[in-house]
């Protein structure tokens, strides 16, 4: 079937389909989807074969021009089936087909280091090289060809039904908005808007050949929205001037919503998979879009979460949990400072030194897959456990905490109530960790002015703030690491992978030497993670200074200046594993000011609860002198 481009073509095709009978469970339609995906994938392989022929047979400058033309043809076919490849073969997509241009290593795969492979390597060789490296190109073409050939049998073998088809389409719309448009790929060609149009074409085509609903008006509207979004992308004059925020709010949000409503009309059930995204929610950036169970330890103990959270709040502010009854979780995580502490580095338990790293804020902490700046903890509960036991932080033990809490009649009653109906009605370490983490899960900060704008209130942002987001996600390359909507390194739309970056943070503000902290490499034991740290959120950056893992910068302007210079390498350091582009971003003062304005629009303290008015009493009078939130 010929791809339909533009509004008129979509409506004409839609009218033809209305003459057909409606079969939501027609296996023929699903097989047609598979045929389309299989055909587009074979076309990519055919283009690779043509590229190899051109690489071998043509020896002059015409070869480079022809290879670039073939590259764009390959990208178009790939974008048509990207939703399928990313859904059924995310590992292959990331490591062999279309992954970012950095070495990768994950603890799940031991100490293995993956070199960049696939289309983005081909892109770099074709568009960012002074001369054509024929040997390297031939290798990448052949490597990519084999990776795609391995996809072909999978297309026929996978369980493919309408539930998974709609999953794929919804994930792709989310991926385009939060990842692809923000510089994840097309790094050198800068063709992100046009490639977005190709992806939308593929989604539209799969939708058209899969099913046709009874409600002709709704279906026509959806196809029209696809066509309008494609047209807007194709009209972009350049990647840097493309108004991403306008496109996301005026085109992608309505398109996503209509797709979800169509799914409901067709009565296509949700896939029984614990996704990070709640695919039943029609609001792409609404408050219910995330599935909280995805980010938590999955327990059956959910009946009394509210009571456990209330108990956790008391424990969070109670210095009784520390070894000396003077320090609380809230000592270093203060509500008025975004649950950070405002210090370059927090004071140690002994008060005679400071900790090795800056204290991160806890707002939105539940929406993470790794904790601590080196990512050594995989669960929020484990993070709390590590802090309690750390001799430089809370310096306590399980037995000591439980022993002290049992000396309070109030605490014993609170635990009995919060864990009623479970085996943990007595004070237990499980109960302590569960209560504190349930409280931390309430620290949800996703209702900033920027969020309200995303959801349709277009009075919330100024022109400078809108420009700032478009720079942030375009020319300034910030969104290639801080992904919309969480603005962390947790990669959408599956939110399984946390990215760690080597940016070359200096030891002191004026130093030309990188900070000595080894970062992620202490955990992963691989050299590429030397000085690598988890990409933290830029939400609430206006209230969480100072910045960087060592707190070296005290203002947002200093941070922006660091990135504008190209990080450590741009400042003259020698960091061969730096993942940040080390050449200047060439942002002028007005552009930097706009980015800062946007960043400050991400501040949200509207849902932050205040401290408790009092702490539970103890039978031992001396313990009742402790201060809410600790003394240091």
CATH code at position 32:
1.20.1420.20
| DSSP-assigned letters across all residues of 90-140 | HHHIIIIIB--SS-B--GGGTT--BPP-BHHHHHHHHHS-SS--HHHHHHH
Lowest mean pLDDT among 165-174, 209-218, 361-370, 397-406: 209-218
Residue 204 lies in a domain: yes
- Tokens representing 601 are 């629009």
- Please state the domain count of the chain: 3
Judge whether residue 9 has pLDDT over 70.
no
* Domain identity same for 100 and 208: yes
Q: How far is CA 405 from CA 315, 399, 411, 438, in A?
A: 10, 10, 6, 19
For residue 365, give the nearest of 433, 312, 295, 311 by alpha carbon.
295
The SS3 of residue 533 is strand
* Domain identity same for 391 and 454: no
Taking all residues of the chain, what is their mean pLDDT, rounded to a whole number?
Answer: 92
Q: Which tens digits make up the pLDDT trace of 328-368?
A: 999 999 999 999 999 999 999 999 999 999 999 999 999 99
- Tokens representing 127 are 């568009």
Residue 615 lies in a domain: no
Contact between residue 591 and residue 575 where contact means Cβ atoms under 8 Å apart: no
- pLDDT given at position 215: 66
Residue 141 lies in a domain: yes
Domain containing residue 433: CATH number: 1.10.760.10
Q: Which tens digits make up the pLDDT trace of 170-186?
A: 999 999 999 999 999 99
Contact between residue 78 and residue 144 where contact means Cβ atoms under 8 Å apart: no
Contact between residue 500 and residue 534 where contact means Cβ atoms under 8 Å apart: yes
Residue 613 lies in a domain: no
Q: Which tens digits make up the pLDDT trace of 83-92?
A: 999 999 999 9
* Domain identity same for 99 and 75: yes
Angle at the Cα of 461 from the Cα atoms of 457 and 465, rounded to 5 degrees: 150
Judge whether residue 395 has pLDDT over 60.
yes
* Domain identity same for 349 and 389: yes
- pLDDT given at position 19: 30
Residue 630 lies in a domain: no
Angle at the Cα of 17 from the Cα atoms of 11 and 20, rounded to 5 degrees: 160
* Domain identity same for 263 and 359: no
* Domain identity same for 428 and 549: no
d(CA 608, CA 338): 9
- Better pLDDT: 16 or 232: 232
The SS3 of residue 516 is coil
Judge whether residue 35 has pLDDT over 90.
yes
Residue 342 lies in a domain: yes
* Domain identity same for 330 and 361: yes
């Amino acid at each position: 079937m010929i791809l339909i481009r533009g509004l008129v073509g979509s409506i004409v095709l839609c009218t033809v389909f209305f003459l057909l009978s409606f079969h939501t469970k027609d296996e023929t339609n699903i097989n047609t989807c598979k045929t389309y995906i299989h055909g587009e994938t074979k076309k990519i392989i055919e283009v690779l074969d043509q590229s190899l022929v051109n690489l071998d047979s043509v020896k002059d400058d015409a070869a480079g021009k022809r290879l670039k033309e073939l590259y764009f043809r390959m990208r178009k076919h790939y974008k048509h089936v990207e939703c399928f490849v990313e859904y059924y073969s995310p590992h292959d997509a990331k490591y062999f087909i279309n992954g970012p241009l950095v070495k990768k290593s994950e603890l799940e795969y031991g100490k293995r280091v993956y070199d960049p492979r696939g289309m983005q390597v081909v892109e770099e060789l074709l568009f960012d090289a002074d001369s054509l490296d024929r040997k390297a190109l031939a290798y990448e073409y052949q490597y990519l060809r084999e990776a795609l050939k391995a996809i072909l049998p999978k297309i026929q073998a996978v369980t493919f039904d309408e539930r998974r088809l709609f999953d794929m389409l919804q994930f792709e719309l989310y991926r385009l908005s939060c990842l692809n448009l923000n510089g994840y790929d097309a790094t050198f060609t800068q063709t992100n808007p046009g490639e977005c149009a190709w992806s939308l074409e593929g989604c539209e085509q799969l939708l058209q050949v899969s099913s046709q609903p009874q409600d002709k008006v709704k279906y026509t509207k959806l196809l029209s929205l696809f066509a309008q979004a494609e047209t807007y992308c194709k009209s972009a004059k350049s990647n840097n001037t493309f108004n991403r925020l306008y496109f996301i709010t005026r085109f992608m949000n309505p398109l996503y919503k209509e797709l979800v409503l169509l799914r409901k009309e067709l009565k296509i059930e949700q896939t029984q998979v614990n996704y990070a995204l709640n695919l039943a929610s029609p609001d792409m950036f609404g408050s219910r879009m995330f599935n909280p169970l995805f980010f938590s330890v999955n327990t059956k103990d959910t009946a009394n979460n509210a009571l456990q959270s209330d108990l956790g709040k008391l424990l969070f502010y109670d210095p009784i949990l520390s070894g000396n009854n003077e320090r609380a979780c809230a000592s270093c995580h203060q509500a008025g400072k975004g649950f950070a502490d405002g210090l370059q580095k927090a004071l140690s338990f002994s008060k005679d030194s400071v900790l090795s790293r800056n204290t991160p804020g806890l707002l939105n902490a539940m929406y993470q897959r790794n904790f601590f700046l080196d990512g050594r903890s995989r669960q929020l509960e484990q993070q709390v456990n590590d802090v309690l036991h750390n001799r430089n932080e809370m310096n306590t033990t399980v037995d000591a905490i439980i022993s002290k809490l049992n000396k309070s009649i109030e605490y014993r009653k609170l635990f009995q109530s919060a864990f009623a109906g479970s085996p943990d009605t007595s004070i237990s370490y499980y109960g302590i960790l569960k209560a504190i983490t349930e409280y931390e899960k309430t620290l949800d900060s996703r209702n900033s002015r920027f969020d309200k704008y995303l959801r349709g209130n277009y009075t919330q942002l100024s022109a400078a703030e809108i420009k700032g987001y478009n720079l942030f996600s375009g020319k300034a390359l910030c969104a290639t690491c801080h992904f919309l909507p969480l603005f962390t390194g947790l990669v959408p739309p599956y939110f399984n992978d946390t990215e760690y970056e080597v940016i070359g943070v200096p030891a002191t503000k004026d130093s030309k030497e990188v900070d000595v902290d080894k970062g992620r490499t202490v955990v992963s034991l691989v050299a590429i993670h030397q000085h690598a740290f988890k990409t933290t959120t830029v939400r609430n950056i206006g209230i969480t200074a100072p910045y960087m893992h060592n707190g070296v910068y005290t203002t947002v302007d200093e941070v922006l200046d660091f990135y504008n210079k190209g990080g450590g390498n741009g400042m003259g350091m020698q960091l061969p594993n730096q993942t940040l582009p080390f050449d200047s971003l060439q942002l002028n003062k007005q552009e930097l000011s706009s980015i800062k304005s946007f960043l400050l629009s991400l501040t949200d303290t509207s849902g932050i609860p205040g401290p408790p008015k009092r702490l539970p009493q103890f039978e031992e009078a001396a313990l009742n002198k402790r201060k809410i939130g600790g003394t240091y």
